[in-house]
Structure 1
């Protein structure tokens, strides 16, 4: 089968999709309740597919609930980056979702972006409505034509509600497979979740993708710990995402309607083993983030906790999205490794997953991009095992 066509044998029990074989998909089990899992559930449901989500802690409990939500149309275009096409498609889908759910419900709005060289001790006065006194307007790097923002947790939960998926709190720790099919999911505590012939599995596990990737001959997935604070602001800051240069570091500020998301001082890549609710910042990173926030926002952030989450990255730095047929699991799909662009690219990833399962091929993005992000690029590892 042409790898660009993905899961070519699938037909859907209800709601459209083309028939290319004799297996009917009644249900899809999505493993992971972050932005990618929720987007997959939402777009599958729009095609009439029944969805069950297995999530270890809760919807948007990890990076999808702690991300900044900055959206950029064309920031991934350079150098033939395959993510560029995905980002452009997803930027448009975010606009559609804002119309469907209502902008306020998901925190969507158009914003501009600036590169800011902040002076030492640039303390912000809380009485001022703008922090742009420290930002040169000559450093604008994005306009409302190319930049927007969304509230990640609100969007993820809206997508999940919109999917009407059954959400089960259960941690998947591995798979059982034979005859090139996933036969069951192994759960924490010793239970298994059988996978019927008319079911498929979508793995959207982010930095926890190693729970299943090695059994499929896929490379290692990593997490990069990111730190953030959500600071209430009254009055609101001006709607400019600020990418700063501060004491040799690059913290960022994303003003929202009534708060400011401040992030930076992340840590090195590592294999993630802790649970989402066990991820905590290192003391050094927390100290730096608090110092930066104090200088820019004054006392507004004094009692705000510093949060930590892991941004997921594949071994080669490119997202892994597509059928697992070439990796020994024809009834499986993987969608992971989106790095800092997970919120931006979540909706397009979910739609790609729905097209793959419902149509047997992907039309949202060019075929060369489909090949570039497919798990099939690692298939040789499976064959050599």
Structure 2
């Protein structure tokens, strides 16, 4: 990776003195192809490595699920949910029905379906959830120790006249480097297994990787993955967390965009409190309540 640049104008609140070598942590650089790399002004304020952590989405979610099943007896049931079953007399959650004809009874239902949340009329009749398709590649350099432990938030221009891109680079302690970016609005397929990256976007990420470091060029690094995902987005840009109006015992948690892994634990804890205790104390859920869309619809 590029040598750590020297910061020239640190914030007075920074614990580091100028000039200094940027420590492992968060670095925002401006890349212009063929030109010198310059530190972004925000480099004056960095997160110290002692208080910085990286979350691997797949390892994190699998660890949570394994702990829940092993320690708390949680059972995992796979299926394609077709609709939410409500008690007709009280409009409260009674369970879910699957497309294969199975039903699962429940006294509380949480819809955490990401960009697929809007496929259920109970959600789409209240608010819109759209999908933002984001691309990523994972590389394993032949010399992993040559990659410094900096998370890079970049502005990249393939040519001086082209649109500025905002890729991100995350070296992992496992020796891999995760590079992501190049998002666009798109409709997610019914089957998540059908999600594939667009060739042009994947090729651009490889170009960016090679620009960041010779150790990430084709031939110098093993290709681990070329992939894409869908980020759930709402019209007002805020997550939707809480009980769905008119459907007692039916809750929703979606719309976190790219912050789902970061905010997922607090979302889960708050919903658990809301379901079990009647109110959330971990997070004030009022700004994220799905009831806000009722007010918007009434005012329009």
Q: TM over 0.5, yes or no?
A: yes
**1:220 and 2:136 correspond:** no
Correspondence for 1:152 among 57, 64, 80 = 57
Deviation at 1:283, TM superposition (A): 2.2
CA separation of 1:203 and 1:352: change in aligned 2, threshold 3 A: same
Deviations 1:290-328 (A, max 9, x none): 21122222233464432000011122211001112xx22
Deviations 1:259-279 (A, max 9, x none): 1110111212x3433321111
Greater shift after overlay, 223-232 or 146-155? Answer: 146-155
Name 1:376's counterpart in structure 2: 291
Deviation at 1:333, TM superposition (A): 1.1
Correspondence for 1:183 among 94, 101, 104 = 94
Query: In 2, are the aligned partners of 1:217 and 1:379 still within 8 Å (CA)?
Result: no
Query: In 2, are the aligned partners of 1:121 and 1:295 still within 8 Å (CA)?
Result: no
Deviation at 1:210, TM superposition (A): 1.1
**1:246 and 2:156 correspond:** yes
Q: Take 2:113 and 2:24, find their aligned partners in 1: how far apart are those partners?
A: 30
Give SS of 2:53's match: strand
Query: In 2, are the aligned partners of 1:111 and 1:239 still within 8 Å (CA)?
Result: yes
Deviation at 1:135, TM superposition (A): 5.8
CA separation of 1:182 and 1:335: change in aligned 2, threshold 3 A: same
Query: In 2, are the aligned partners of 1:328 and 1:382 still within 8 Å (CA)?
Result: no
Correspondence for 1:290 among 188, 191, 206 = 206
Q: Take 2:170 and 2:265, find their aligned partners in 1: how far apart are those partners?
A: 20
Aligned-residue Cα RMSD (Å) equals 2.7
Correspondence for 1:118 among 8, 28, 31 = 31
Greater shift after overlay, 213-222 or 282-291? Answer: 213-222
Q: Take 2:211 and 2:195, find their aligned partners in 1: how far apart are those partners?
A: 26
Alignment of 1:95-244 (within 5 A): 112-121=25-34, 134=37, 136=39, 139-140=42-43, 141-144=45-48, 147-164=52-69, 165-177=74-86, 178=88, 179-189=90-100, 191-196=101-106, 199-214=107-122, 217-233=125-141, 234-236=143-145, 237-244=147-154
Q: Take 2:277 and 2:85, find their aligned partners in 1: how far apart are those partners?
A: 26
Name 2:13's counterpart in structure 1: none
Deviation at 1:111, TM superposition (A): 5.3
Name 1:128's counterpart in structure 2: none
Deviation at 1:158, TM superposition (A): 0.6
Deviation at 1:362, TM superposition (A): 0.8
Deviations 1:55-75 (A, max 9, x none): xxxxxxxxxxxxxxxxxxxxx
CA separation of 1:176 and 1:273: change in aligned 2, threshold 3 A: farther
Name 2:236's counterpart in structure 1: 316
Q: Which runs of 5+ in 1 are unaligned?
A: 1-109, 123-132
Q: Bigger relative contact order, structure 1 or 2, given CA contacts below 8 A and separation 6+? A: 1
Q: Which runs of 5+ in 2 are unaligned?
A: 1-22, 158-163
Query: In 2, are the aligned partners of 1:217 and 1:378 still within 8 Å (CA)?
Result: no
Alignment of 1:362-373 (within 5 A): 362-366=280-284, 370-373=285-288
Q: Take 2:152 and 2:204, find their aligned partners in 1: how far apart are those partners?
A: 17
Higher helix proportion (structure 1 or 2): 1
Deviations 1:40-96 (A, max 9, x none): xxxxxxxxxxxxxxxxxxxxxxxxxxxxxxxxxxxxxxxxxxxxxxxxxxxxxxxxx
Deviation at 1:180, TM superposition (A): 1.3
Q: Take 2:124 and 2:201, find their aligned partners in 1: how far apart are those partners?
A: 35
Q: Take 1:139 and 1:240, find their aligned partners in 2: how far apart are those partners?
A: 15
CA separation of 1:267 and 1:243: change in aligned 2, threshold 3 A: same
Name 2:3's counterpart in structure 1: none
Highest CA radius of gyration, 1 or 2?
A: 2
Q: TM-score, length-normalised on structure 2?
A: 0.77
